Chain A
Amino acid sequence: MQSRHPTPGSQTSLREANRARIVESLKRHGHLTQVELAGATGLSAATISNIVKELSGAGVVNTAATSRSGRRAVEVTLARRQGLVAGLHISKRHLRVAISDVDRTVVAENHLPLAVDHRYDRELDRAALLIGDMVEALDASLSDLLVLGMALPHPTDPATGIISTPGLMRGWDGVAIADSMSERIQLPVFADTEANLGGLAELRSGAARGFTSSVYIRVGYSIGGSLLINGSPYRGGSGRAGEVGHVMIDPHGPLCACGNRGCLEVFAGGPALLELFRGDPGIHRLRDLLLRAEAGDSRAGRAIADAGRHIGAAAATVSTLFDPELVVIGGEMAEAGELLLAPLRHELERATIGAHAPDVVTGTLGDRAAVLGCLAAAIDNVGAEWKPQLR
């Protein structure tokens, strides 16, 4: 009897697993030479060469002669399917859209500022139109898009697709966001938090590349985090893992929108920092605050340093529990650099168990991390089964 899958442990199954590994690596890195493929998959050069020949014969990959450090090499790319993927990052004050082909080459990018407390219907409509515009500008049509990856500031419930903690995103509560977007654009939509996707991007091609355990903390108008364990973000039981912004750092602190008291976000989130400068006509955005601090304003510098200390305290809790090798800071506030990181590091070292604190660095992908993560997640999900959560 011929089963669909070969017997486990057999030669055939091994070969199939190796083939899958090669395709997987190409999906992640876009294009690699055979030597790099050997490094990425851990397979021998001979195996790679055989499998690549076979895959190329089957039309799954393309090969091209190239050179690496002066030596001849064979570059392998996934055969370009007539397909594009889109990434949509909706944050508290910005909307960012990118379109890439399935080889991870970003072909179009756009962003626009959003109002405080934006609403889901208007922004999703606008995003759908914008994606349509951008695809058209590429001489393609919406039907060339395969998948949309979407990043949101807060976790959605995996069962329903609704923001899991009501109140954190007014205007987006009670809506199955991925489904709603999917209806507008007629594509499978995969949604995750901006921290998870930003983390994923930093892990694949940014600061966290090569680390088996790291933590990504996104500090901006909201604070989110992602626990990057063994190559992917850990999502927990209800998708809420890593919400660093809602770690309690002062049990007597002010109330938070999430319903708890004294969360990190109430002390170090964007709105909390800007509240300190209310009435100052020169500071309305986090960027103004950063510019002011860079120019040597002591109040602005102190506000950022205090935020760093608070984040350090929360990061210490995370480090003690997860013992990551690296903490990557991203988001709008990461641009503050050492102004934010030095106090953060100090507090982290002070409060982590055994004073064995992980390294702290800023992300290398900046503001684009989340949208690049959207694209990466979308490419991972090309051809994956997708069904609307609520129908």
Chain B
Amino acid sequence: MTSTEFDGAGTMNEAQSRTEEKPMIQASPAATTQPTVQPTVQSTVQPLVSMTGISKNFGAIRALTGVDLEVYPGEVVALVGDNGAGKSTLVKILAGVFKPDGGSISLSGTPVIISNTAEAYDLGIATVFQDLALCDNLDVVSNLWLGRELNVRGVLDHVGMETRSWALLRELSARIPSVRARVSTLSGGQRQTVAIARSLIGEPTIVILDEPTAALGVGAAAEVLNLIERLRERGLGVIVISHNIADVQAVSDRIVVLRLGRNNGHFHTDDVTNEIVISAITGASDYSR
């Protein structure tokens, strides 16, 4: 409780009362011995996304049961879990692909219902799926602006799109040889970069990345990890799904573990070793509540 010493008493009381009202991060029963997150100083910052008690059934299969997830501005949250743990289902609910059967979603404190992907996009939620969904036959600029082309009095504004593409890619310190290069000529890391850049065109507040470093070489993975840091510095909330625990520990601020459709642990990245995360993923230790 070192941090409380630096706080006025008022802040502390406020923190306690807020914690009672609505536990932002619920402590597990054996919280004293487990390295789960302890809310000590509760900031007044609203979470960008707060998903509470999300449930989803596919017929007789319960994909998700009462799952919680919160993301704050400028924070990278890693969503990890075994295959079939429900990670993709959870982010697809946020992206508007699936409708949840139970639970609530609020964005910056306002409850919302996301019924389709276009609505999610309008609410500032951008998703980069694992297959990237780029058009190989088009160049980088066309891919970035696909479906949202800029136009001046009904005529495509090629110059405007190209300059804004350069500005965006430069801001992300992306290593793309030319914005007029066809996507099919780019490397895996560059394609991932283009896909992430495309998600930023609509000025989102939340970016969801599904397995961004899978199937990439070391150099390309480094590029993507740096890119995630850039997103974080822009104050976006980032949700990363990954199986690579070392990458997760390098870029994330918090780790949320799902196991068999339930929360099984919620860690501050700085506090945990990868053994603890792996034991939570595999179910060797039970952090559910």
The listed residue (A126, A129, A134, A281) touching B47 by CB distance below 8 A is: A281
The listed residue (A111, A114, A275) touching B226 by CB distance below 8 A is: A111
- The yes or no answer to B6 lying at the interface (CB within 8 A) is yes
Q: Is the CB of B246 within 8 A of A122?
A: yes
The listed residue (A280, A282, A284) touching B270 by CB distance below 8 A is: A284
Q: Is the CB of A279 within 8 A of B41?
A: yes
Residues 219-248 of B at the A interface (beta carbon under 8 Å): 219, 221-222, 225-226, 229, 233, 246
Given A274-B270, A277-B41, A281-B47: A111 and B222 interface contact (C-beta under 8 Å): yes
Chain B residues within 8 Å of A134, by CB: 219
Q: What's the Cα separation between A125 and B221 when bound, in Å?
A: 14
The listed residue (B2, B72, B249) touching A276 by CB distance below 8 A is: B2
- The yes or no answer to A116 lying at the interface (CB within 8 A) is yes
Q: What's the Cα separation between A328 and B233 when bound, in Å?
A: 27
Max chain B C-beta neighbours (<10 A), residue from A118, A278, A285, A287 = A278
- The yes or no answer to A356 lying at the interface (CB within 8 A) is no
- Distance in angstroms from B206 CB to nearest chain A CB is 14
- Distance in angstroms from A183 CB to nearest chain B CB is 18
Which residue on A lies nearest to B6, using beta carbons?
A276
Q: Is the CB of A281 within 8 A of B43?
A: yes
- Distance in angstroms from B211 CB to nearest chain A CB is 17
Given A114-B250, A282-B73: A126 and B2 interface contact (C-beta under 8 Å): no
Residues 122-138 of A at the B interface (beta carbon under 8 Å): 122, 126, 129-130, 133-134, 137
Q: What's the Cα separation between A137 and B223 when bound, in Å?
A: 14
Q: Is the CB of A288 within 8 A of B2?
A: no
- Distance in angstroms from B99 CB to nearest chain A CB is 28
Q: Is the CB of B72 within 8 A of A112?
A: no
Q: Is the CB of B233 within 8 A of A110?
A: no
Q: What's the Cα separation between A111 and B72 when bound, in Å?
A: 26
- Distance in angstroms from B163 CB to nearest chain A CB is 26
Q: What's the Cα separation between A93 and B253 when bound, in Å?
A: 13
The listed residue (B43, B47, B250) touching A280 by CB distance below 8 A is: B43
- The yes or no answer to A117 lying at the interface (CB within 8 A) is yes
- The yes or no answer to B39 lying at the interface (CB within 8 A) is yes
Given A115-B249, A130-B219, A287-B233: A281 and B75 interface contact (C-beta under 8 Å): yes
Which residue on A lies nearest to B75, using beta carbons?
A281
Given A116-B249, A274-B270, A284-B270: A279 and B42 interface contact (C-beta under 8 Å): yes
- Distance in angstroms from B213 CB to nearest chain A CB is 10
16 contacts between A and B (CB under 8 A): A112-B221, A115-B274, A129-B217, A130-B218, A133-B219, A134-B219, A137-B219, A278-B2, A278-B3, A278-B268, A279-B38, A279-B41, A280-B41, A281-B43, A287-B233, A291-B233
> What 6 A-B pairs are tightest by C-beta distance, nearest first?
A115-B249, A281-B72, A112-B222, A284-B253, A133-B219, A279-B40
Question: Which A residues have a C-beta under 8 Å from some C-beta of B?
Answer: 93, 110-118, 122, 126, 129-130, 133-134, 137, 271, 274-282, 284-285, 287-288, 291, 299
